[in-house]
A and B are shown apart, each in its own frame.
Chain A
Amino acid sequence: MVSHTSASDAPKTLFDKVWDDHVVATREDGAALLWIDRHFVHEGSHHAFRKIAERGAKVAHPELTFGVADHYVPTRTRDLSAVDHAVADMVARLSDNCAANGVRLFGLDDPRQGIVHVVGPEQGLTLPGLSMVCGDSHTSTHGAFGALAFGIGASEVAHVLLTQTLWQRQPKRLKIRVDGAMAPGATAKDLALTIIARIGADGAHGHAIEFAGSTVEALSMEGRLTLCNLSIESGGRCGMIAPDDTTFAYLAGRPFAPAGEALERAMSYWRTLPSDPDAAFDREIVLDGGEVVPIVTWGISPEDALPVTETVPDPNRIADPARAAHAREAVGYMGLVPGQKLTDVAVDRVFIGSCTNSRIEDLRAAAAILAGRKARVPGLVSPGSSQIKRQAEEEGLAEIFTAAGLDWVESGCSMCVGMNGDLVAAGERCASTTNRNFKGRQGKGARTHLMSPAMVAAAAVTGHLADVRTLLRETV
């Protein structure tokens, strides 16, 4: 097994250690050919499968390739004959492509089905030190385990299918260090949105992010997954967290994770992965955990985020003309009034789901607020995987959601992107646990406010954006 602790090694970052262990060859222009350990494909990968079929080729390493049906799957029924045929076709095409190439598929009726970035960790496919790719930008999620994981486009998906490798240039290294306890009611989602608001939606452009510090170390695996998931929303190439005992405890016993002696051996390698104490980063950002409070987005980019106690920004008071124009466009699209208190903004519906916030801990947090209360607006709860769905039903969470008046549905990407038909109507305002408040993301003309699961639950029971802390006080 390779070791990174030999005295002759120059100090290295977590990113460098994982990167170096995957370099097959280096070109004179500096591009590296990286070996890929895990490749996930989904319905949207059809362009890439078509490309390889045109070459008369097959998937080179089907044992390292995993199909997951998530982006287009219906959530109100599992009967494909009952849904729009364009949607059904996409799900069927994935099954066909996987079958033709001998690729294992977590399909519509598989008990392991779910959103790709939830299923990977859950099945033990996501492990420290792996290189992982998927034709989906939120592949950064898997970095929570100390894996090098990033999203790729269709041409690159085809390249990985054919060669199990990818040409990459090295990004720069950015360390984001957060220390101290977060404010009451604040979660990993609030931390992530605080970071994005601080550095901008392109603030980590060209960088591999490492999240470190006591605030990050204190996060559960679920919280870490949320944080790394959102690293793409600050433009980062990937986000990583050093593997530790929290990581090892989570992955032990998972179906595709090593066990017994193989686990021992893997762990002795994984323990060498954290950044060396004096490893150099190109940039470093330090944040005080105490500054992280419950936060919501008000605009059309995840960087348009403010503490929920604030007011809607006034574009006329923003000096930079391009930024003022952006704020004007955002406030207009969102149908807000500058100066309006965020907690006065009424919502039309809520959505709890997506690869960002649909894990069991997220559902528990939302249910804690909803328990014994009624939602004033309609809403959808789509668990991150079919396995989480069963667990939530066993724990009684599903009952809390339905008793509150929300719809409890099957697992999939659902209203995060609306490809399966779960859409927010034009002009409607949705409090959402998802990751993108882009114009039209949840449906044409839809207005999305991003926040944590507990904050979405708070919006549901009050009918407007709300500070979860007021409801927490009522609970105790």
Chain B
Amino acid sequence: MRPFTRLTALACPLPFMGVDTDQLIPARFMSRPRSEGYGDFLLYDRRRDDAGDLDPAFPINDPDRAGAEILVAQRNFGGGSSREAAVYALVDAGFRTVIAPTFGDIFANNAVNNGLLPARVPEADGEAILAAIAGGLREITVDLETQEITAGEIRTSFEIDPISRKKLLNGWDDLDLTQSYADDIAGFAKADAARRPFAHLVNIPRSD
């Protein structure tokens, strides 16, 4: 995975509270293979009007913000369904970080597993950044080493749990790391089957 260290890039506002994963990608697109690319499905129903045409007033449709890599949203971003497709849609649309006061837990895990940084800022700072963007601010710098965001005049630190931070900084994939624990896992399973037999379904025939 591509490591995330420091990013200076165009920012796009998404000034809504509770942009849940059903909005980020409607359920009907999730049967597609990832190789087809999920970027076009991002906020599919939100960014279109009733006739299905792109709504020019919706922030991420603004041609002036095309190519943005930083998304700035409000409270409870990515709550709801565990669909990792919500992260695929953001990543495939070119976003590398989302700045918001709070994130859905599962979304945040999924994001980190795909190299997307969920940066948690105090609500007041988030609002200030959105106001600055509304006032014409274009580029924002997000530094994961120092956990700082610079948005014009605004300087604020952001929160991310240390484990996610380390994974993002190094571009780590959990699986590679876990392989080195194979012996611990086998040892645990063996001892645990004796300790908690009910958990291991040892006596359940496979042929039911």
Give me the interface of A with B, judged by CB distance under 8 Å.
1-2, 21, 24-25, 27, 29-31, 33, 35, 37, 44, 46-47, 50, 63-64, 72, 86, 89-90, 104, 127, 129-130, 135-137, 150-156, 158-159, 162-165, 167, 169, 171, 200-202, 205-206, 235, 237, 255-258, 262-263, 265-266, 269, 300-301, 322-323, 325-326, 329, 417-419, 426, 436, 438-441, 444-445
Contact = CB atoms under 8 A, between A and B. Distances in A.
Contacts of B103: 205
Nearest to B162: A29
A298 B82 CA distance: 24
B31 A441 contact: no
Nearest to B105: A237
Nearest to A266: B198
Contacts of B114: 155
Interface of B: 15-18, 20, 22-23, 26-28, 30-31, 33-34, 45-46, 50, 74-76, 79-85, 87, 102-106, 109-110, 113-114, 123, 127, 161-163, 166, 174-175, 177-178, 181, 184-185, 188-189, 192, 195-201, 203-204, 206, 208
A10 to B, nearest CB: 21
Given A137-B80, A255-B208, A326-B17, A29 B163 contact: yes
A1 B82 contact: no
A438 B199 contact: no
Contact of A167 (B162, B174, B195, B199): B174
B74 A127 contact: no
A156 B113 contact: yes
Given A31-B163, A153-B109, A153-B110, A418 B27 contact: yes
B101 to A, nearest CB: 9
A326 B33 contact: no
A266 B177 CA distance: 33
Given A24-B184, A90-B31, A155-B113, A47 B84 contact: yes
**Which of B75, B82, B174, B204 has the most chain A CB atoms inside 10 A of its CB?**
B82
Nearest to A30: B163
A169 B163 contact: yes
B145 to A, nearest CB: 16
Nearest to A200: B76
A2 B72 CA distance: 48
Contact of B80 (A130, A256, A438): A438
Given A155-B113, A167-B177, 9 more contacts: A44-B83, A50-B34, A151-B82, A159-B178, A163-B178, A258-B198, A436-B22, A438-B20, A440-B22
Given A29-B166, A256-B204, A322-B17, A154 B84 contact: yes
Contact of B31 (A86, A200, A418): A86
B18 A35 contact: no
A156 B84 CA distance: 10
A329 B28 CA distance: 24
Contact of A235 (B46, B76, B123, B161): B76
Contacts of B201: 63-64, 256
A262 B80 CA distance: 38
A266 B136 CA distance: 63
A437 B74 CA distance: 19
A373 to B, nearest CB: 33
A151 B33 CA distance: 21
A348 B141 CA distance: 49
Closest 10 CB pairs of A and B: A153-B110, A153-B84, A155-B113, A154-B84, A151-B82, A266-B198, A202-B76, A258-B198, A137-B82, A24-B188
12 contacts: A24-B185, A25-B181, A104-B208, A127-B199, A135-B82, A156-B110, A156-B113, A202-B104, A206-B105, A301-B79, A323-B17, A436-B80
Contacts of B166: 29
B74 A301 contact: no
Given A44-B30, A86-B31, A235-B105, A438 B23 contact: yes
A46 B34 CA distance: 10
Nearest to A35: B188
A154 B104 CA distance: 15
Given A137-B82, A262-B203, A440-B45, A164 B185 contact: yes
A344 B175 CA distance: 54
A1 B195 contact: yes
Nearest to A63: B201
B22 A441 contact: yes
Nearest to A38: B199
B23 A440 contact: yes
A231 B173 CA distance: 29
A440 B26 contact: yes
Q: Most chain-A Cβ atoms within 10 A of its Cβ — which of B76, B105, B188?
A: B105
Given A165-B185, A326-B18, A137 B208 contact: no
A136 B196 contact: no
A165 B189 CA distance: 10
A49 B83 CA distance: 15
Contact of A438 (B22, B184, B196): B22
A265 B185 CA distance: 24
A64 B105 CA distance: 25
A255 B63 CA distance: 59
A155 B84 contact: yes
Contacts of A155: 84, 110, 113-114, 174
A136 B82 contact: yes
A135 B84 CA distance: 9
Nearest to A60: B185
A300 B74 CA distance: 15
A301 B162 CA distance: 30
B76 A444 contact: no
B178 A269 contact: no
A224 B40 CA distance: 40
A325 B30 contact: no
Contacts of A2: 195-196
Contact of A1 (B106, B196, B208): B196
B197 to A, nearest CB: 6
Contacts of A301: 18, 20, 76, 79
Contacts of A89: 31
